[in-house]
């Protein structure tokens, strides 16, 4: 039985001489794995639409342990006309992160929408630190890792501005954990906004560069502490700063 879904290619690798195997974040079926026969042939209609960072309408056939892409109609290819190395590296990190956390073979429209919005803003050249922090915080919250930013863990101080990325809670000077990171009022308000605003508004704010850097640091520490794993694409993204002069 044929199925149709819109999806973004978040991982690809070549098989044999002409085939391609992809991981796709789809709207109706979440993360799926699929093979694309003959995708790498010059005359293949599925070539561009099943590459990494391609968003397409896919006609799928369910196999025993994977799907087969019967046809693919391109909707948008991100960075098709180029982009900086940093932009593309961050986009690849987003793909790896969403592939790890989005649901498998169940409805995932909010996850796909968040990723598409992040890539759109990244391609436009907006603040990378802001986009990265929003994508990380919103994704983790949707995946069940919502931090508690309402009050200090000890229940006393209103002015708690230390964030514990391992427990996902606030602390005051008296009760903060050793690994906590400081949050200025600006960064604290930004985190609250990102987590509480509607999907259509979560990117709709601006911060000074230093506050963006602090927000991104807190969000990334939260990802690292909660997931307890490395992301090679993230390490590569950070390594690029070593070569800037």
Average pLDDT over residues 33-51: 80
Length of the chain: 245
Identify the band that residue 1 occupies on the pLDDT scale cut at 50, 70 and 90: low
Mean pLDDT of 197-208: 95
Pick the CATH number of 2-77 from 3.30.1700.10, 2.40.50.140, 1.10.1200.10, 3.90.226.10: 2.40.50.140
Give yes or no for residue 244 having a pLDDT over 70.
Answer: no
The proportion of the chain whose per-residue pLDDT surpasses 90, expressed as a percent, equals: 71
Q: How confident is the model at residue 216 (pLDDT cuts 50, 70, 90)?
A: very high
Of the candidates 209, 221, 245, 227, which has an alpha carbon nearest to the alpha carbon of residue 97?
A: 227
Residues of the chain with CATH 1.20.1440.120: 85-243
Dihedral sign (CA 135, 228, 215, 140): positive
Q: What is the pLDDT confidence band of residue 105, given thresholds at 50, 70 and 90?
A: confident
pLDDT at residue number 47: 79
CATH 2.40.50.140 domain range(s) in the chain: 2-77
Domain 85-243 -> CATH class: mainly alpha
**pLDDT average, residue stretch 153-178:** 85
pLDDT of residue 245: 39
DSSP characters for 16-85?
TTTEEEEEEEETTTEEEEEEETTTTSTT-TTTGGGSTTEEEEEEEEE-SSSEEEEEEEEEEETTTT---H
């Amino acid at each position: 039985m044929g199925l149709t879904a819109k999806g973004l290619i978040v991982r690809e690798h070549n098989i044999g001489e002409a085939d391609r195997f992809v991981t796709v974040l789809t709207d109706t079926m979440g993360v799926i794995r699929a093979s694309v026969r003959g995708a790498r042939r010059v005359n293949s209609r599925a070539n561009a639409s099943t590459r990494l960072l391609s968003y397409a309408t896919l006609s799928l056939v369910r196999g025993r342990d994977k799907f087969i892409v019967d046809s693919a109609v391109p909707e948008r290819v991100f960075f098709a006309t180029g982009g900086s190395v940093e932009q593309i590296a961050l986009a690849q990190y987003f793909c790896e992160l969403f592939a790890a956390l989005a649901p498998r073979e169940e409805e995932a429209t909010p996850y796909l929408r968040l990723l598409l919005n992040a890539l759109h803003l990244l391609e436009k050249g907006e603040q990378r630190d802001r986009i990265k922090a929003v994508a990380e915080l919103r994704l983790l919250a949707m995946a069940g890792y919502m931090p508690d930013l309402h009050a200090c863990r000890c229940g006393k101080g209103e002015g708690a501005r230390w964030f514990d990325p391992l427990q996902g809670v606030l602390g005051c000077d008296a009760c903060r954990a050793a690994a906590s990171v400081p949050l200025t009022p600006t960064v604290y308000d930004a985190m609250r906004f990102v987590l509480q605003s509607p999907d259509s508004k979560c990117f709709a704010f601006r911060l000074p560069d230093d506050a963006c850097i602090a927000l991104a640091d807190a969000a990334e520490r939260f990802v690292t502490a909660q997931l307890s794993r490395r992301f090679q694409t993230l390490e590569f993204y950070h390594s690029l700063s070593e070569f800037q002069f």
